[in-house]
Structure 1
Amino acid sequence: MHLLLVEDDYLVAQGLIRSLRQEGYSAEHSGTVKHALECLSSGEIELVILDLGLPDGDGSQVLKHIKAQKKVIPVVILTARGSIDDKVQGLDMGADDYLAKPFDPAELFARLRVASRRINQTQSSLLRCGDVVIDTSAHTVTLSGQSLTLPRKEYMLLKALMENQGRVQSKQQLENKLYQWGEEVGSNTIEVHIHHLRKKFPSDFIKTLRGIGYVVGKR
């Protein structure tokens, strides 16, 4: 799941990003309202952890933007504003949960799991492209009904391609995906893993557009 952490305290954010990646989230960080809105415009964010006290405005602006777009993106507010009135106001604005600082990471992760389950109840966890199926909730891959075991990086690259069927993904975009999952990315990481994936799937499943990137499905 691709998560956006909106937090202006850099040290807090970096520590939390590391913990989120260890929990299996693909996580990126934003420290301002402006940058958070830019991240949301990509259409890839599935879950938001939102601080309210930001240097260029109030986090409620981000929450209002998400709700105005009518997208299924759960928002967990994580803020120093811990009064009952603040919590009621945040939840009334449309937040899915509200946690005051200081907080226990274990509690935050538990609340994120609840928010994730809500998404799975409203959206299919299956990605299909021809005879290839990924179950994103179980982290399984099948080809023509037969189960395949993929290393972590290959699984993440395949998932990124299938989430964007028909849309070319550049090497840089795929590298960013791996980085957001907390993976080390070398100069030829993408080429190597695409090469290994091609050996496991039909020869024309992953197409290369020379100098542009990779794509699965019809364009």
Structure 2
Amino acid sequence: MKFLLIEDNIQLAHAICSRMGFDGHVIDHAATIRDARAFSATEDYDLILLDIMLPDGDGRDFLKHHREGKKDTPVIVLTARSQVSDRISILDLGADDYVTKPFDHAELEARVRAVLRRRGGVSQTVLRVGNVEFDPVAGTLVVDGTALQLRNRELRLLELLINAPGQIFAKQKLVDRLFSYDDDVSENAVEVYIGRLRKHLKGSSLSITTLRGLGYRLEHE
């Protein structure tokens, strides 16, 4: 999944990106509200991790503006404020959860998983299509009763395709979803992951079709 982290503490941001990246998530990092708005205006994220005290303003203003824009992206607030009134105001503005600083990274990861499980939509439940079972949160794929080992980006690619069967995904769209802005990759990288995923899906009821000049589409037999 792709997350936006809004945090001006560089050391903490690097730690969060490293931990989340280890689980296969793609993280874009913004250190200011200005950068965060630029990111969110051009990308659709599965989750936002939002600090409150930022160099150019209050993260709650970003949250308020985000919700007023009718965006339902789950938001977990990272805050050093522990007073009940502060936590209530954060939730009232539309945050899905909050973590009080300093926090254990294991707790943050658990809250991320919990928010993603609570989020409505099929992308947060075990998907069963034909002889394929896929759990995007747990990161597991079973084909015809056999559990398969997929690399992180292979899992994330399958997550994108399986949640929109029949939809055409252009190569550049997949690059944007699978990699962060800091990653130096070309569209050829997508071809590599598509090829690997096809091998894993061999013998399943799912197949990935190439539409020349357009992109890729997941189809169910």
The alignment's TM-score, normalised by the length of structure 1, stands at: 0.73
Match in the other structure for 1:6: 6
One-letter amino acid matched to 1:179: F
Contact in 1 for aligned 2:206/2:219 (Cα 8 Å): no
Match in the other structure for 1:215: 217
Change (3 A) 1:34 1:214: farther
Distance, in Å, in 2 between the alignment partners of 1:123 and 1:213 is 25
Contact in 2 for aligned 1:78/1:99 (Cα 8 Å): yes
Q: Flag structure 2 segments of 5+ consecutive residues without an equivalent.
A: none
C-alpha displacement at 1:209, in angstroms? 3.4
One-letter amino acid matched to 1:205: S
1:69-92 Cα deviation digits (max 9, x unpaired): 555433221134444443332223
Distance, in Å, in 1 between the alignment partners of 2:207 and 2:41 is 29
Find out whether 1:206 has 2:208 as its counterpart.
Answer: yes
Distance, in Å, in 2 between the alignment partners of 1:6 and 1:177 is 18
Question: Aligned Cα RMSD in Å?
Answer: 3.7
Find out whether 1:118 has 2:104 as its counterpart.
Answer: no
C-alpha displacement at 1:206, in angstroms? 1.9
What SS does structure 2 have at the residue aligned with 1:44? coil
Find out whether 1:30 has 2:7 as its counterpart.
Answer: no
Match in the other structure for 1:95: 95
Match in the other structure for 1:149: 148
Distance, in Å, in 2 between the alignment partners of 1:104 and 1:203 is 41
Mapping of 1:7-156 within 5 angstroms?
A: 7-41=7-41, 44-119=44-119, 122-124=120-122, 125-127=125-127, 134-141=134-141, 146-147=145-146, 149-152=148-151, 153-156=153-156
What SS does structure 1 have at the residue aligned with 2:207? coil
Change (3 A) 1:24 1:190: closer
Contact in 1 for aligned 2:131/2:145 (Cα 8 Å): no
Distance, in Å, in 2 between the alignment partners of 1:151 and 1:56 is 41
Q: How many residues align?
A: 214
Change (3 A) 1:21 1:184: farther
Contact in 1 for aligned 2:130/2:205 (Cα 8 Å): no
1:92-117 Cα deviation digits (max 9, x unpaired): 32323333333332332233233233
Between 1:55-64 and 1:198-207, the stretch displaced more is: 198-207
